Chains A and B, each alone.
Chain A
Amino acid sequence: MNRALNNQMKHFDSKVFPVIAILAALSMIFAAPAAAAPAKHAAAPPAAALPSASTAQPQQSVAADSDKTLAAMQDELDRSRQRLELTIAGNSEPARPYYIQYRVLDLDVHTIVAEFGALISSTSGRNRIMSVDVRVGNYNLDSSNFISDEGFSGFLGSTGTVGIDRDYDSLRQDLWLATDQSFKSAVENLSKKQAFMTRLAKAPSIPDFSPATPAVSIDPLREPDWTTRNLEQEAKTVSAVLRQFPQLHSSRVTYHLIYTTNYLLNTEGTKIRANRSLAAVEASLETESDDGMRLHNFLAVYRQRPDQLPAADAVRKDLQLAGEQLITLRVSPPAADYDGPVLFEAPAAGSLLAQMLGPSLSGARGPLAMQSSFDQLMDRLGGRSEWTGKLGTRVLPPGVSLVDDPTTKQFAGQDLLGAYAVDEEGVKGERVQIAENGTLRKLLMSRRPGPDLNMTNGHGRAMYLGDPRPLMSNLFFTSTEGQSPADLKKKFLDACKQNGNKWCIVVKEMDNPVLGVREQDDLSEIVMGAASGAASGDRLPLLVYRVNPDDGSESLMRGARLAGLTLRAMRNIAGIGTDVTPFNFTQSQQAGFSGTALAAFGSADSGVPATVIAPSLLFNDVEVHGARGEPGRLPLVPPPPLN
Chain B
Amino acid sequence: MIRQTGAAAVKTFNLAIVVTVFSVNAMAAAGKPAHRPAPASPPQQAAQATPAPALVTLGQELDREMPILSKATPAAYFIGYTLTSSQRAEVMGSNGALLASEENRSRWLETQVRVGSYDLDNTHKVGNSAPGQGSFGVAVPVEDDPGVLRRAMWLQTEKQYRAASEALIKISTSREVQAQTVEEHAPDFSREQPHVFYGPEISVNPDRKPWEVKVRLYTRAFRASPQILNSIVTFSSLGENQYHVTSEGTRLQFGQVHYRLELFIQGKAPDGMDINRYYNFDWTNPADAPDDKAVLAQGQVLRKELEALVAAPLVEPYAGPALLTGRATAVFFHEVFGHRAEGFRQKDINEGQTFARKVGEQILPSFLSIYDDPTAKTIGKNMLLGYYPFDDEGTPAERVTLVDKGVLRNFEMSRQPLTGFPRSNGHGRRQIGAQPVSRQGNLIVQSSRAVTNAELRVKLVEEIKRQGKSFGLMIDDIAGGFTFTGRGQPQAFQVQPLVVYKVYTDGRPDELVRGVDIVGTPLVSLTKILATGDTMEIFNGYCGAESGSVPVAAAAPAILISEMEVQKKETSIDKPSILPSSGHDPKGARP
Contact A10 B12 (CB under 8 A): no
Pick out which of these stretches binds chain A: B98-106, B303-311, B315-323, B356-364: B98-106
Q: Does B524 sit at the interface, judged by CB under 8 A?
A: no
Contact B154 A639 (CB under 8 A): yes
Q: Select from chain B the residue with minimum beta-carbon distance to A128.
A: B99
Q: How far is the CA of A640 from the CA of B148 in the complex (A)?
A: 9
Q: A159-B15, A637-B69, A637-B158 are in contact. Are A173 and B95 (CB under 8 A)?
A: yes
Contact A164 B97 (CB under 8 A): yes
Q: Does B157 sit at the interface, judged by CB under 8 A?
A: yes
Output the least CB separation between A87 and chain B (Å).
Answer: 10
- Which B residues lie within 8 Å of A7 (CB)? 104
Contact A10 B104 (CB under 8 A): yes
Output the least CB separation between A252 and chain B (Å).
Answer: 9
- Which B residues lie within 8 Å of A177 (CB)? 12, 229-230, 577
Contact B98 A164 (CB under 8 A): yes
Pick out which of these stretches binds chain B: A11-19, A526-534, A555-563, A613-621: A11-19
Q: How far is the CA of A120 from the CA of B108 in the complex (A)?
A: 10
- Which A residues lie within 8 Å of B88 (CB)? 10
Q: A120-B139, A592-B16 are in contact. Are A172 and B68 (CB under 8 A)?
A: no
Q: Does B170 sit at the interface, judged by CB under 8 A?
A: no
Contact B16 A174 (CB under 8 A): no
- Which B residues lie within 8 Å of A17 (CB)? 19, 22-23, 26
Which residue in A80, A152, A180, A250 is a CB contact (below 8 Å) of B151? A250
Q: Does A59 sit at the interface, judged by CB under 8 A?
A: no
Binary per-residue interface labels of chain B (57-74) against chain A in the complex, 1 for a CB within 8 Å, 0 otherwise? 000010011001100100
Q: Select from chain B the residue with minimum beta-carbon distance to A518.
A: B138
- Which B residues lie within 8 Å of A386 (CB)? none
Binary per-residue interface labels of chain B (567-589) against chain A in the complex, 1 for a CB within 8 Å, 0 otherwise? 00000001101110111010101
Among B63-97, those with CB < 8 Å from A are 64-65, 68-69, 72, 88, 93-97
Contact A79 B106 (CB under 8 A): no
Q: How far is the CA of A183 from the CA of B229 in the complex (A)?
A: 17
Which residue in A24, A125, A178 is a CB contact (below 8 Å) of B20? A24
Contact A118 B141 (CB under 8 A): yes
Q: A31-B16, A637-B68 are in contact. Are A161 and B100 (CB under 8 A)?
A: yes
Q: Does A452 sit at the interface, judged by CB under 8 A?
A: no
Q: Select from chain A the residue with minimum beta-carbon distance to B135.
A: A520
Output the least CB separation between A385 and chain B (Å).
Answer: 22
Which residue in A75, A115, A167 is a CB contact (below 8 Å) of B96? A167
Which residue in A20, A79, A124 is a CB contact (below 8 Å) of B19? A20
Which residue in B65, B69, B106, B577 is a CB contact (below 8 Å) of A176? B577
- Which B residues lie within 8 Å of A173 (CB)? 95, 223, 229-230, 581-583
Output the least CB separation between B177 and chain A (Å).
Answer: 26
Contact B15 A466 (CB under 8 A): yes
23 A/B residue pairs, CB under 8 Å, sorted by A: A9-B23, A10-B30, A12-B30, A12-B433, A28-B17, A76-B582, A79-B590, A116-B147, A116-B148, A124-B102, A125-B101, A125-B102, A152-B17, A157-B12, A164-B99, A171-B97, A176-B581, A183-B578, A249-B151, A250-B151, A591-B19, A637-B65, A642-B148
Which residue in A18, A127, A464 is a CB contact (below 8 Å) of B23? A18
Binding site for B on A (CB under 8 A): 1-2, 5-7, 9-13, 17-18, 20-21, 24, 27-28, 31-32, 34, 75-76, 78-86, 113, 115-127, 129, 131, 152, 155-165, 167, 169-174, 176-178, 180, 183-184, 243, 249-250, 464-466, 590-592, 633, 635-637, 639-643
Q: Count residues on chain B whose CB falls below 8 Å from chain A CBs.
A: 76
- Which B residues lie within 8 Å of A174 (CB)? 94-95, 230
Output the least CB separation between B537 and chain A (Å).
Answer: 33
Binary per-residue interface labels of chain B (137-154) against chain A in the complex, 1 for a CB within 8 Å, 0 otherwise? 111111101011011111
Which residue in A75, A164, A170 is a CB contact (below 8 Å) of B589? A75
Contact A163 B19 (CB under 8 A): no
Q: Select from chain A the residue with minimum beta-carbon distance to B67.
A: A637
Q: Select from chain B the residue with minimum beta-carbon distance to A249.
A: B155
Output the least CB separation between B71 and chain A (Å).
Answer: 9
Which residue in B13, B143, B153 is a CB contact (below 8 Å) of A160? B13
Q: Select from chain B the residue with minimum beta-carbon distance to A129.
A: B15
Contact A115 B19 (CB under 8 A): no
Q: Is the interface of B mostly helix, strand, loop or mixed?
A: mixed
Q: Does B383 sit at the interface, judged by CB under 8 A?
A: no
- Which A residues lie within 8 Å of B145 (CB)? 116-118
Contact A590 B19 (CB under 8 A): yes
Contact A123 B161 (CB under 8 A): no
Count of inter-chain pairs, beta carbons less than 8 A = 251
Output the least CB separation between B82 and chain A (Å).
Answer: 15
Contact A152 B14 (CB under 8 A): yes
Q: Does B130 sit at the interface, judged by CB under 8 A?
A: no
- Which B residues lie within 8 Å of A159 (CB)? 12-16
- Which A residues lie within 8 Å of B574 (CB)? 184
Contact A250 B155 (CB under 8 A): yes
Contact A165 B16 (CB under 8 A): no
Binding site for A on B (CB under 8 A): 11-20, 22-23, 25-26, 29-30, 61, 64-65, 68-69, 72, 88, 93-102, 104-106, 108, 136-143, 145, 147-148, 150-155, 157-158, 161-162, 216, 223, 229-230, 433, 574-575, 577-579, 581-583, 585, 587, 589-591
- Which A residues lie within 8 Å of B17 (CB)? 28, 31, 152
Output the least CB separation between B59 and chain A (Å).
Answer: 13
Contact B579 A79 (CB under 8 A): yes
Interface centre among B61, B97, B583 (most CB of A within 10 A): B97
- Which A residues lie within 8 Å of B72 (CB)? 636
Q: Select from chain B the residue with minimum beta-carbon distance to A22.
A: B23
Contact A121 B16 (CB under 8 A): no
Q: A17-B19, A156-B12 are in contact. Are A163 and B29 (CB under 8 A)?
A: no
Contact B158 A635 (CB under 8 A): yes
Contact B23 A34 (CB under 8 A): no
Q: Select from chain B the residue with minimum beta-carbon distance to A175.
A: B582
Which residue in A10, A24, A155, A637 is a CB contact (below 8 Å) of B26? A10
Q: Select from chain A the residue with minimum beta-carbon distance to B232.
A: A161
Q: How far is the CA of A409 from the CA of B362 in the complex (A)?
A: 79
Which residue in A10, A21, A80 is a CB contact (below 8 Å) of B579? A80
Closest 3 CB pairs of A and B: A163-B97, A31-B16, A118-B141
Output the least CB separation between B542 and chain A (Å).
Answer: 16
- Which A residues lie within 8 Å of B229 (CB)? 173, 177
Contact B99 A161 (CB under 8 A): yes
Output the least CB separation between B588 and chain A (Å).
Answer: 9
- Which B residues lie within 8 Å of A180 (CB)? 577-579
Output the least CB separation between B53 and chain A (Å).
Answer: 13
Q: How far is the CA of A121 from the CA of B29 in the complex (A)?
A: 15
Output the least CB separation between A524 and chain B (Å).
Answer: 13
Contact B150 A641 (CB under 8 A): yes
Q: A170-B95, A633-B162 are in contact. Are A115 and B148 (CB under 8 A)?
A: yes
Which residue in B16, B579, B590 is a CB contact (below 8 Å) of A32? B16
Which residue in B136, B147, B230 is a CB contact (below 8 Å) of A643? B147
Q: How far is the CA of A5 from the CA of B150 in the complex (A)?
A: 28
- Which A residues lie within 8 Å of B585 (CB)? 79
Contact B148 A170 (CB under 8 A): no
- Which A residues lie within 8 Å of B575 (CB)? 184
Q: How far is the CA of A611 from the CA of B27 in the complex (A)?
A: 35
Contact A170 B97 (CB under 8 A): yes
